[in-house]
Amino acid sequence: MTTNDLPSMCPAFDAYLQTDEYAVYLAAEIREYLKVPGLCTADVIKFRDKVLMKKALNGQVRAPRVYGSKDLFENRDLFPIVAKPRSYAGSKGVSILSSKEDLHEYLQANDVIMDDAIESFHEFSMNEVEFEEYVEGSIFHVDGLIFDNEIIFCRASQYLGKLLNYLKGEPVGSVSVGDRREQELWKEFVQQIHDVMRIPDGAFHLEAFLTNEGERVFLEIGARPGGGLIVSTIEKAIGLNLDEAHLQCQLGIIPIINDKSEVHYGWLMYPKEYYAESERRITEVRLPKAMPSSVMWSKVPEVGQSNTGSFSYINNLGSFVFVSEVNSQIYDDIEVLLRDYSVLW
């Protein structure tokens, strides 16, 4: 028996689905191999390759410029720039380079392939890197659903803290956008992207900038639900599970959505020391005297647990989900936790 015999030996599948970023391309490969209907690799690669996804916008939506090697070595005025692996997520492997000297040091310290060709993309390659324009502005994530080629759910949230700094020990979170008009403008922005990229039926997770001048700038998009606490937060706030809805949309089942626009939500996570040279044990967990009123769910570590481990937003030193009818209450309650919550080791 060879691998070529497997498709004929496997039972017939109606669909092969996924909910994880790192399974988007793999699921498409399996569908092609087993001849299962659905999205193929040519359909999904633009939602995995950070270079190709910007190219797919065809200049119709503002996005960070992607620089080739010649640009960077000949023009100092392009700095600062962002270096990031083309196929990873969650700020993994991302660096900010402020000068040509930083670029040289980065290239010397990392086994990086500076290949400007789109065809160089490979899944899970840390050395295939894109270099893009550094954009100043607040970062937002927009999470939603596409069904029958239409946006049927769309909610924007603003990040608190920088995802890149989460790996450096700083907490990160987000709060849903409280202004209805701003929510509408984010949906219009998603529609512009959808018109060009054709987001497939299912969930999407968009990250974008809002500059000080009010310009919305595409950062990246995934054809799957958001990670970390995003799915559980939205479910606790309005009862919609984006993981389940993602699968329903792909199966032609329209999800039941009760979009309570008057309900606001947010989340906050504290990182472990993911790259610590040695493991240490937690000796104390300090909490506020009274848990803030908008905290609907929380999970904190126990004394004796490790303060380190492999990187994951779920593998952390504290998770908090906030739900309130008053948007500002969530911001106030997050400030209480940032001030009064800590983990010692």
Q: Which tens digit of pLDDT belongs to each residue from 43-78?
A: 999 999 999 999 999 999 999 999 988 899 889 999
Q: What is the pLDDT of residue 233?
A: 98
Q: What is the pLDDT of residue 1?
A: 45
Class of domain 65-133: alpha beta
pLDDT over 90 (residue 254): yes
Q: What are the pLDDT digits (tens) for 168-181?
A: 899 999 999 999 99
Q: How would you write 215-271 as a 3-class SS string? A: CEEEEEEECCCCCCCHHHHHHHHHCCCHHHHHHHHHCCCCCCCCCCCCCEEEEEEEE
Q: What is the pLDDT of residue 118?
A: 57
CA atoms within 13 A on the CB side of 326: 8
φ, ψ (nearest 5 deg) of residue 216 = -90, 130
Question: Token match 């999800």: residue?
Answer: 255
Q: What are the pLDDT digits (tens) for 190-241?
A: 999 999 999 999 999 999 999 999 999 999 999 999 999 999 999 999 999 9
pLDDT over 90 (residue 161): no
d(CA 317, CA 54): 35
pLDDT over 70 (residue 8): no
**pTM of the shown model:** 0.92
d(CA 131, CA 88): 14
- Cα distances from 85 to residues 96, 112, 139, 286, 344, in angstroms, run 13, 9, 19, 37, 33
CATH pick for 138-344 out of 2.40.260.10, 2.60.40.10, 3.30.470.20, 3.40.30.10: 3.30.470.20
Q: What is the pLDDT of residue 23?
A: 86
Question: Token match 């959808």: residue?
Answer: 194
pLDDT over 60 (residue 3): no
> Domain residue spans in the chain?
65-133, 138-344
pLDDT over 90 (residue 269): yes
Pairing assessment for the beta strands 295-299 and 264-271 based on DSSP bridges: unpaired
Between residues 256 and 88, which one has the greater pLDDT?
256
